[in-house]
Amino acid sequence: MSNFLQRDARQPAFWDERFEQQFTPWDKGAVPQQFRQFIAQSEAGSVLIPGCGNAYEAGFLAQQGWQVEAIDFSAAAVHSAQQVLGPWAKLVTQADFFEFTPAQPLALIYERAFFCALPPEFRPRIVQRWAELLPAGATLAGYFYLDENPLHSPKGPPFLTHADSLMQMMSPYFQLELDQASLDALEVFGGKERWQVWRRI
């Protein structure tokens, strides 16, 4: 980390530098198994992947018949994803999640290392934007970096969220339908990664 000049995770340049130096400890390099299982049981529709990084899930979803839009505000991340995805490269575009409008109504937003990538002050805005983008009955599914201990707040990114705080932010808009420990969590999340499925109310 000492070689990095960019220290502000709110800026695209922070993420550009890390992708350019291939420092991506949040990158699993594959589609996680609980998400695969979820998609196998779901009807295909329109899906958005914010902060998509290398976007392995975008190609996977497209092959399952989903209409996929994957976005990242880092140009280096978008370039990396397009190299990874090959024939599915056009699924990924550079965009700011807070300003982006999907081409069609969404059935699903997939969360993976986006919510924890930005500093805590962004959380209410992210939740509000999820709620704006998802119609009633649609789904937010993905992985969250959570802790039950309100005193445990390591410096990020990734930025830890306390479970009660997440529930307070989400409950006006979403109902929690599934909450499990990640079956193939990444080391960077220190065993605190949860697989969750939320339904828009």
The two structure tokens encoding residue 147: 């802790």
Residue 44 phi, psi dihedral angles, 5° rounding: -65, 145
Rounded average pLDDT over 21-44: 88
CB half-sphere exposure, 45, CA atoms < 13 A? 18
Q: What is the mean pLDDT of residues 3-13?
A: 73
The average confidence (pLDDT) of the chain is 91
pTM of the shown model: 0.91
CA dist 148 and 60 (Å) reads: 32
pLDDT for 1 equals 44
Q: For residue range 148-169, what is the model confidence (pLDDT) as tens digits?
A: 775 556 677 889 999 999 999 9
Rg, C-alpha atoms of the chain: 16
The lowest-confidence range among 20-29, 33-42, 65-74, 168-177 is 20-29
Residue 108 is encoded by which pair of tokens?
A: 């699903």
Report d(CA 101, CA 104) in Å as an integer.
8
Give the total residue count for the chain.
Answer: 201
The pLDDT > 70 percentage for the chain reads: 94
Comparing CA positions, the residue from 117, 125, 171 lying closest to residue 144 is 117
Instruction: Note the pLDDT of residue 148.
Output: 77
Residue 151 has a pLDDT of 59
- In the prediction, which pLDDT does 106 show? 98
pLDDT tens-digit readout, 45-87: 999 999 999 999 999 999 999 999 999 999 999 999 999 999 9
Least confident of 1-5, 7-11, 39-43, 168-172: 1-5
**Preceding peptide of 157 cis, ω within 30°:** yes
Which residues are CB-contacts of 95 (< 8 A; sequence separation ≥ 6)? 71, 72, 73
At 96-114, the pLDDT tens digits run 999 999 999 999 999 999 9
Q: Which residue has the tokens 């969590």?
A: 185
Angle, alpha carbons 167-169-173 (nearest 5°): 95
